[in-house]
Amino acid sequence: MVFGLIWLLYGYPSLTTTRWPQSFSVVFEVAAQKKADFAVKRARQAETRRLRNKRRKSEVRTSMRKVMEALDVLKKKTGLVPKEVISIETLIAEAYSDIDKPIGKGTLHRNTGANRKSRLARNKKAVEIHHGWYTPAPDLTVLPLHKTRFIFLTERMCTTKITSASEKYYGV
């Protein structure tokens, strides 16, 4: 009798396929479980942290944008007053402070902060070079003498022949 019911449900067994179904699947509909209290709290904390981090990053971008715009204006001007240059210095100091705050809180990585500060310093240096307030030092050439010792030579010294004990000993 049991075999007859199985054949009615599944058909007659074939010699090429598996003999009988080994297990039967029963599908249950489960009501949605209530979120655990700690999961709700973690979700709430994550959202507040996300908004706080977003605000801190926005402050960094805003202060950097202010400095960049001020540097662009300064680059285009011809007759400059020293007070304008001092105002740029204060803007850069504020931007550095705004960059350091999220680094201390863990929102930004310290290397990211260093890159952003470097970008501000490079742009300031470009404006100073443009107006002739700063002349960059000549490129330095490094000649390795030993694993831990180096000689730093300027371009002028590289054009002349160096005769010293180090040249004889190290063969430089």
Percent over 90 (pLDDT), the chain: 45
Position 159 pLDDT exceeds 70: no
What does the pLDDT read at residue 157?
Answer: 53
Whether this prediction's pTM lies above 0.75 is answered by no
Phi, psi of 12 (to 5 degrees): -75, 145
Q: What is the pLDDT of residue 164?
A: 53
Distance CA 125, CA 127 (A): 5
Cβ–Cβ under 8 Å, residues 150 and 162: no
Q: What is the pLDDT of residue 68?
A: 97
* Residue 142: strand, helix, or coil: strand
Q: Is residue 28's pLDDT more than 70?
A: no
What band does 81 get if pLDDT is binned at 50, 70 and 90? confident
- Closest by CA position to 89, among listed 120, 129, 135: 120
Cα–Cα distances (Å) from 114 to 94, 119, 121, 124, 127, in that order, read 15, 9, 10, 15, 20
Cα 45 from Cα 109, distance rounded (Å): 21
